[in-house]
Amino acid sequence: NGIWRHPCPMNMNVVTSSRSSCPINAVVLGEALASEESELVFPSKDFSGQAMVASLEKYLEMYKRSIEDPAGFWSDIASQFYWKEKWGKQVYSENLDVRKGDIKIEWFKGGITNICYNCLDRNVETGNGDKIAIYWEGNEPGSDGSLTYSQLLQKVCQLANYLKDVGVKKGDAVVVYLPMLMELPITMLACARIGAIHSVVFAGFSSESLAQRIMDCKPKAVITCNAVKRGPKVIYLKGIVDTALAESAKSGISIDVCLTYENQSAMMRGETKWQEGRDIWWQDVVPKYPTTCEVEWVDAEDPLFLLYTSGSTGKPKGVLHTTGGYMVYTATTFKYAFDYKPSDVYWCTADCGWITGHSYVTYGPMLNGATVIVFEGAPSYPDPGRCWDIVDKYKVTLFYTAPTLVRSLMRAGDEYVTRYSRKSLRVLGSVGEPINPSAWRWFFNVVGDSRCPISDTWWQTETGGFMITPLPGAWPQKPGSATFPFFGVQPAIVDEKGLKLEGECSGYLCVKSSWPGAFRTLYGDHERYETTYFKPFPGYYFSGDGCSRDKDGYYWLTGRVDDVINVSGHRIGTAEVESALVSHPQCSEAAVVGVEHEVKGQGIYAFVTLADGVPYSEELRKSLVVTVRKQIGAFAAPDKIHWAPGLPKTRSGKIMRRILRKIASRQLDELGDTSTLADPSVVDQLIALSDS
């Protein structure tokens, strides 16, 4: 098994590129990947010296135990939390094999606990009540606020009491449509406190998307705010909620309570449309409630939340997470993947409308008593230096973001970064897509001054927490590789027939056996859960992603398998070709799709966004094609380069290749729903540029 082998112990401290050595498996992986494979970035002695897991040996020892004795490994960790009653004899039970019956995953069943209690009361009771829980940074520079753990607990209790008063009970769903105000984590925690199931809908989704989710989970209450400013733009959230509620009422789903926070920084309440009896201002009622509230104790397997996946690939799925396992898993992954210390100030740029905001803005950090930044605004407002301004202002030590943001800041130029100190930074993190090696290096060298390890965390809404991730300080990194599995995770790369591949290989990324943070079902559709995730490769959880493992056992995510392109029998991951294009100094972003090709079966069609100020020319086109030829091989050379001033992205910043495929194959009447795009107008722009 590759992972037990040690990476070659070269002695490097900075990024170096040794492109000539080991061009192994060049056809399957592409030479680009093969040469990246040998590039090792070692943690500094200083960093490793203070790291929680300071060596590969220590990791291997812990990993081995987590696989050989999952019950012992995880119950030792779980014991550090507060349980009103301990779980039963069986720490976990599972069936991941459709051939053996229904899929079932349970962890700590019979254990009675509450995740809000563990996030807040437990920290207050252990003397951390005066520690800052949340620093809130508003859209406009200069507007900010903060809450200590004690203050946060009081606010949560007030809302919890209000919700109970309007009849929200254990097991009821509450839909939350809020921007990144402190009230968003407050709402999540208040629901958890009373055993209600929150379903946060990213406050950028359209009224149709919101209505669809309301109709699916039939909530007891909806919580929103009147408006929000993101960058220079005001968005009237309450109006969107009104439309969604009218829509769901047509299907017989009527909502009795719409609690609305007055977000004065965006708009005063007077201008808000109102439905008496249903709508109520948060500020008029919630502050009147007592600041303490009894906890509703729940079973470890009682549902905590429902979150609909972003929908990059079709109808959204209501991913259901339960309480105990999720609690233990998010807390542990946060602690190790960021090498968390109590003195850290942690900033994750994700919105709580996504899983990252659930597991790594709210629950994971707060279970560790961390100080968290909640940022309302847009990362490039008023200019692309805003992130580093915030880093300096709060002395952020752990900074976690997405490749799409890294690439856009890289495009804006280094000056926006280097004018800030960033001295406080210790660890950087990435999630959401494979991070291209060139973006990785920029993040590492420019943002982190070649000093901060990068945790490239691979995971999914479905997995609840990190699955494959570096542990900073424990082993050398390879730019673009998520490196090794987290404790308790057994990744399996399988071929088309579901045969597990060993050693150096590439194929479909699956997971054998459960981990505590795994989702338990798709809400109201257990059959779809089994069909989508467990039937494709019986015996395994199938992630939907492609992956390869190199000779050192490092894992490289190659993108969704639906996006794999087959050119003359060569299976090429979109991520590979995109990385090669982005490594060209004048290309800032690329999205590659397959199109029908008479001879090759499929041809490669590449959409490219150029660096600021660079004009598109025939010469540049050729040079982009040459870059791919050189790095991967002639078979991967794009047949068509399509200039894209902007790319269609989901609101979580992921490229929607489904739409690009239609544009590439000129099936313009089959574009489908484009309303969930962050900026639907880019589609028309791309169509207009089709023939240029």
Catalytic residues: 562
Which of these segments, 83-91, 112-120, 427-435, 677-685, binds ligand ATP (CB under 6 A)?
Answer: 427-435
Assess 183 for contact with ligand ATP (CB under 6 A). no
Member of 200, 225, 427, 431 binding ligand ATP (CB under 6 A): 431
Contacts of 621 (CB under 8 A, 6+ apart): 641
Q: Pairing state of beta strands 303-308 and 173-177?
A: unpaired
Q: What DSSP string runs through 475-534?
A: S-B-TT--BSBPTT--EEEE-TT-PBP-SSEEEEEEE-S--TT---EETT-HHHHIIIII
CA neighbours closer than 13 Å in the CB half-sphere of residue 409? 27
Which of these segments, 119-127, 416-424, 541-549, 588-596, binds ligand ATP (CB under 6 A)?
Answer: 541-549
336-375 footprint of ligand ATP as x/- string (CB under 6 A): ------------------xx--------------------
From 691, 649, 641, 645, select the one nearest 668 (Cα to Cα).
691
| Numbers of helices and strands, H then E, in the chain | 23, 30
From 93, 86, 53, select the one nearest 71 (Cα to Cα).
93
The whole-angstrom separation of Cα 163 and Cα 289 is 10
Shortest Å, Cβ 651 to ligand ATP: 11
If the CB atoms of residues 194 and 304 are measured against ligand ATP, the closer one turns out to be 304
Token pair 């015996």: residue: 539
Shortest Å, Cβ 542 to ligand ATP: 11
Member of 516, 544, 638, 648 binding ligand ATP (CB under 6 A): 544
Q: Helix-strand-coil percent breakdown of the chain, rounded to 5? A: 35, 20, 45
Member of 422, 520, 560, 642 binding ligand ATP (CB under 6 A): 560
Assess 457 for contact with ligand ATP (CB under 6 A). yes
Shortest Å, Cβ 433 to ligand ATP: 5
The whole-angstrom separation of Cα 436 and Cα 554 is 16
Shortest Å, Cβ 661 to ligand ATP: 14
Shortest Å, Cβ 310 to ligand ATP: 4
Member of 55, 146, 291, 460 binding ligand ATP (CB under 6 A): 460
Assess 482 for contact with ligand ATP (CB under 6 A). yes
What CA–CA distances, in Å, run from 2 to 66, 251, 430? 17, 54, 24
Member of 48, 309, 455, 481 binding ligand ATP (CB under 6 A): 309
If the CB atoms of residues 221 and 406 are measured against ligand ATP, the closer one turns out to be 406
Assess 579 for contact with ligand ATP (CB under 6 A). no
Member of 31, 106, 172, 545 binding ligand ATP (CB under 6 A): 545
639-658 footprint of ligand ATP as x/- string (CB under 6 A): ---------------x----
The whole-angstrom separation of Cα 308 and Cα 214 is 11
Q: With contact defined as beta carbons under 8 Å apart, do 452 and 40 qualify?
A: no
Q: With contact defined as beta carbons under 8 Å apart, do 106 and 93 qualify?
A: yes
What CA–CA distances, in Å, run from 444 to 48, 447, 576? 17, 6, 20
Which of these segments, 129-137, 214-222, 454-462, 604-612, binds ligand ATP (CB under 6 A)?
Answer: 454-462
Assess 311 for contact with ligand ATP (CB under 6 A). yes
Residues that bind ligand ATP (CB under 6 A): 309-313, 354-355, 430-434, 456-458, 460-461, 482, 543-545, 557, 560, 654
